[in-house]
Amino acid sequence: MTTAFLQRVSNDTAVAHLDMRVKFALLVMASTIIFIWNNLLLQALVLVLMLALMLAARVPAATIRRLILILSPALIMIAVIQGLWSPFGVTPVVTVPDSVPWVGGWHIFYVEGLLFGLAVCCRLLIPMLAFQLVFMTSDPRDIVLGLARIGVPYRVAFLFSTTFRFVPLLFEEMEGIKEAQRLRGVDIDSLGLVRKLIAMARMLVPLVMICLSKAQLMEIALQAKAFTGSGDRTYLHPTREQLSLAEKLLIAVFLLAPVAALAARLVYGFGGSVL
């Protein structure tokens, strides 16, 4: 179930065929413009855009729903905290009756705080969905190639790609350890919260040992292939060195959108209010 967040989807979609440089520009926009706007409607607009792109890329709706469910406790907590103590609070939702000693008449929940809390939830969801979209529609080799083409040293790009490949491997090894525990009569998923945390902590030792062993095997394989990390190499898709006109326009839109949003915020205050 966990590895479903990182499994590739169909590469027959327009989103999957985009050059990695376009996808990196999308990540930049999704990670910056959300902090420029406080407006809930604008944040929701960007969130709808990300959801539309994910559906266009044929990311399973169940995967999106599962990600949102995993984040839902944090999202609810953020909305409640902002509703209680946000400095944007003006219109009270809940007022303690005057008959209550000491706290009678206090306003303890505000409409503007709740709305701002929802905007903060969008700030959390948008980059999460954007990163999931990029990684589920991109081959790790394309990620390395895209990083190299934007000027990232090949050693750093290769390290990033290797880390990305190891993440689903960690989840698979974790599931293998849990299956081994089930064969011994210990079902970790059915334990209570405290006992589950203790059991998961004990699983870290074999998990780390397995990862170290696989990392050592990878090091031996790289040495056997005389890997140097030099960026002077050929690539699988050399014809994608040049961007199409549409891709150039998309990169320009994605990179200029935060700049335009910041200028509009500073000059006209656009997007500064919660609504």
Q: Does position 90 have pLDDT exceeding 60, yes or no?
A: yes
Is a pLDDT exceeding 70 seen at residue 138? yes
Residues 11 and 125 in one domain: yes
170 in a structural domain: yes
Q: Give the separation between CA 220 and CA 69, rounded to whole angstroms.
A: 41
4, 131: one domain: yes
**110 is a domain residue:** yes
Q: How high is the pLDDT of residue 2?
A: 46
Q: At what angle do helices 20-36 and 111-136 cross, to 10 degrees?
A: 170
Helix axis angle for 140-149 and 20-36, nearest 10°, is: 80
Cα 250 to Cα 20: distance, rounded to the nearest angstrom: 12
Domain count for the chain: 2
Residue 266, phi then psi, degrees to nearest 5? -70, -35
The answer on 219 and 130 residing in a single domain is: no
Q: Are residues 17 and 116 in the same domain?
A: yes
Residue 113 and residue 28 in one domain: yes
Confidence band for 101, pLDDT divided at 50, 70 and 90: confident
How many helices (H) does the chain have, and how many strands (E)? Answer: 9, 2
Question: Has this prediction a pTM greater than 0.75?
Answer: no
In Å, how far are 184, 191, 192, 200 from 187, measured between CA atoms? 9, 7, 11, 11
Between 252 and 67, name the one with better pLDDT: 252
Kindly tell me the burial class for residue 254, based on how many C-beta atoms sit within 10 Å of its own C-beta (0-12, 13-18, 19 or more): buried
Residue 239 lies in a domain: no
Taking 60 as the threshold, does the pLDDT of residue 261 lie above it?
yes
State whether 125 and 27 are in the same domain. yes
Q: What average pLDDT does range 11-18 have in this prediction?
A: 81
109 forms beta bridges with: 94
Range 167-174, long-range pairs (CB < 8 A, 24+ positions): 167/6, 168/3, 168/6, 168/7, 169/211, 169/214, 170/207, 170/211, 171/2, 171/3, 171/6, 172/3, 173/207, 173/210, 173/211, 174/2, 174/203, 174/207
**Residue range of the domain that includes 214:** 154-230
Q: How far is C-alpha 177 from the geometric centre of its chain's CA atoms? A: 26
Q: Is the pLDDT assigned to residue 210 strictly greater than 60?
A: yes
In residues, how long is the chain?
275
Closest listed residue to residue 27, CA positions, set 129, 121, 168: 129
Helices 154-183 and 140-149 sit at what angle, rounded to 10 degrees? Answer: 160
Cα separation, 56 vs 51, in Å, equals 9
pLDDT of residue 236: 61
Residues 206 and 272 in one domain: no
Residue with tokens 């910041």: 262
Query: Mean of the pLDDT values across residues 16-37?
Result: 88
What is the percent of the chain with per-residue pLDDT over 90, rounded to a whole number?
A: 11
On whether residue 144 sits in a domain, the answer given is no
